[in-house]
């Protein structure tokens, strides 16, 4: 048997083989179909394919559900941030904490410290005033 | 016998598979499974392993039929996939021992061939006794009627290497099989 370069491109015919090898090739060709896939292979493969397809579909559903959950979580986070910012708005003053905060602001604006120093200032002012009253009454009583 | 447009038929079935999903696998199976199992058996030397390889490949095709639809030669590509899968299984199971018996093969002898059963089984026995790289060339050349160029593409070897492997294999087979002239009938 000789194999030239042209046989790489074209199918080698049995004519190209020696009679002995040609007969061997024929015998091999005749034995081609005696080995067959086992009875249940077809069912097994089709069943697995359908199962896999079902699994893929379930995976897609789960993926979509997870994506929807992520989107919902992001929306919730966004809303929470918005609510946090809203707390700084004047509406917040309607609450007890807000009112206390506003009272502190007013006190700061008027430069009055709502504590003991205010009482001290008041007492000082009152004693000063009473002193003036006493002085003015005394000077008017010594007048002729 | 391999129709000349077998590759195009495989492409057509793969296209259906892409459009209809697993429901269309039956067609591709009927078209290719017997030949793929036959080819894989020459590599794995065990029908169970061959069927596992074919099942794994067909399931991969179901997952992404586009690989066959877009392949230059879908049939050659499918054969190459089966070959690679068979080699993986072979490596995994380390079944290098040549099985001399055909007990593991699911053989079907046509009624009119019963008188030649022993002769036909002898072919398989001798094919399995060959080194894998030689038996796969014989299978592709004689049963798949491929050119050495096509065989070279499937096996990823140069065409002259495929040709020389074929030559060595045929010489060995001729010496092993009795070569007295026989009335050979084709089994389709």
Regarding whether B128 and B53 lie in a shared domain, the answer is no
> Region B163-173: what's the mean pLDDT?
90
Higher pLDDT, B110 or B13: B13
Answer for the pair B84, A72: CB distance below 8 angstroms, yes or no: no
User: Number of folded domains in chain B?
Assistant: 2
More confident site: B85 or A124: B85
Higher pLDDT, A124 or A87: A124
Looking up residue B66, the CATH number of its domain turns out to be 1.10.1740
User: Does any domain span residue B112?
Assistant: yes
Tell me which of A81-90, A93-102, B62-71, B100-109 is least confident: B100-109
Looking at the fold, whether B89 and B16 belong to one and the same domain comes out as yes
Q: Is B137 on the interface with A (CB under 8 A)?
A: no
B111 and B87 within one domain = no
Domain boundary among B68, B95, B122: B95
What pLDDT sits at residue A8?
43
The pLDDT value recorded for residue A10 is 45
Name the token pair of B142.
Answer: 């004689």
Residue of chain A whose alpha carbon sits nearest to that of B118: A31
Tokens of B88: 């993986």
pLDDT at B103 over 60: no
As for the ipTM of the complex, it is 0.72
Q: Which residue did the predictor score with more confidence, B34 or B99? A: B34
pLDDT of residue A124: 80
If pLDDT is split at 50, 70 and 90, which confidence band does B81 have? Answer: very high
* Contact state of A35 with B171 under an 8 Å Cβ cutoff: no
Q: Are B113 and B73 found together in one domain?
A: no
User: Does a structural domain hold residue B184?
Assistant: no
What's CA B145's distance to the chain center, in Å? 11
Q: Answer yes or no: do B82 and B20 share one domain.
A: yes
A15-26: per-residue pLDDT in tens?
466 777 888 888
- Domain boundary residue, one of B38, B60, B95: B95
Please write the tens of the pLDDT for every residue from B18-46.
888 888 888 899 999 999 998 998 888 88
Closest-CA distance of chain A to residue B8, Å: 19
Classify residue B124: in a domain, yes or no. yes
Is B57 in the same domain as B126? no
Name the residue ranges covered by the structural domains of chain A: 11-85
Would B186 be classed as within a structural domain? no
Chain B hits for A21, CB-CB cut-off 8 Å, are 170-171, 174
pLDDT at B4 over 70: no
Do B155 and B77 reside in the same domain of the chain?
no
Is the pLDDT assigned to residue B187 strictly greater than 80?
no
Residues of A in contact with B152 (CB under 8 A): 8
Would you call B181 helix, strand, or coil by DSSP? coil
Task: Check: CB of residue B150 under 8 Å from CB of residue B182.
Answer: no
Inside any domain, residue B101: no
Q: How confident is the model at residue B151 (pLDDT cuts 50, 70, 90)?
A: very high
Strand pairing partners for B39? none
Q: Which residue has the higher pLDDT, A100 or B55?
A: B55
Contact A53 B62 (CB under 8 A): yes
Best mean pLDDT range from A119-128, B51-60, B127-136: B51-60
Phi, psi at B53, each rounded to 5°: -65, -45
* Confidence at A81, pLDDT banded by 50, 70, 90: confident
Q: What is the pLDDT of residue B24?
A: 85
Q: Is residue B132 part of a domain?
A: yes
CA–CA gap between residue B36 and residue B61 (Å, rounded):
14
CB nearest A36 (choices: B34, B149, B186): B34
- B116 and B172 in a common domain: yes
Best residue of B4, B25, B160, B175 to probe chain A, by most A CBs closer than 10 Å? B25
Please report whether residue B147 resides in a domain. Answer: yes
What pLDDT is recorded for position B52?
92
pLDDT, greater one: B152 or B45? B152
Domain assignment of residue B72, given as a range? 1-95
pLDDT at A17: 66
Q: Which residue has the higher pLDDT, A122 or A11?
A: A122
Query: Do B73 and B117 belong to one domain?
Result: no
Asked if residue B187 is part of any domain, the answer here is: no
- Burial (CB count within 10 angstroms: exposed 0-12, middle 13-18, buried 19+), residue A143: exposed
A39-60 tens-digit pLDDT: 888 999 999 989 888 888 899 9
């Amino acid at each position: 048997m000789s194999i030239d370069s042209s046989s790489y491109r074209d199918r080698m015919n049995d004519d190209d083989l020696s009679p002995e090898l040609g007969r061997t090739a024929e015998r091999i060709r005749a034995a081609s179909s005696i080995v067959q896939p086992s009875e249940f292979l077809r069912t097994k493969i089709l069943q697995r394919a359908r199962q896999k397809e079902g699994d893929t579909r379930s995976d897609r559903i789960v993926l979509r559900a997870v994506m929807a959950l992520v989107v919902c979580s992001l929306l919730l986070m966004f809303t929470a941030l918005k609510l946090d910012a809203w707390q700084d708005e004047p509406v917040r003053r309607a609450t007890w904490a807000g009112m206390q905060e506003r009272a502190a602001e007013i006190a700061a604006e008027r430069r009055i410290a709502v504590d003991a120093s205010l009482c001290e200032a008041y007492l000082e002012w009152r004693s000063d005033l009473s002193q003036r009253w006493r002085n003015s009454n005394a000077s008017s009583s010594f007048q002729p | 016998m391999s129709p000349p447009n077998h590759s195009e038929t495989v492409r057509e079935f793969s296209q259906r598979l892409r459009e209809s999903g697993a429901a269309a696998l039956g067609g591709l199976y009927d078209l290719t499974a017997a030949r793929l199992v036959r080819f894989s058996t020459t590599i794995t030397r065990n029908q169970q392993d061959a069927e596992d390889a074919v099942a794994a490949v067909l399931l991969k095709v179901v997952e992404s039929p586009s690989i066959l639809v877009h392949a230059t030669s879908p049939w050659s590509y499918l054969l190459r996939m089966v070959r690679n899968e068979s080699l993986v299984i072979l490596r995994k199971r380390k079944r290098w021992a040549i099985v001399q018996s055909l007990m593991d093969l699911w053989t079907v002898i046509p009624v009119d061939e019963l008188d030649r059963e022993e002769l036909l089984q002898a072919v398989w026995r001798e094919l399995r006794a060959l080194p894998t790289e030689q038996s796969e060339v014989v299978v592709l050349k004689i049963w798949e009627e491929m050119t050495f160029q096509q065989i070279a593409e499937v096996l990823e070897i140069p065409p002259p290497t495929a040709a020389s492997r074929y030559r060595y294999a045929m010489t060995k087979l001729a010496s092993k099989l009795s070569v007295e002239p026989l009335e050979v009938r084709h089994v389709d």
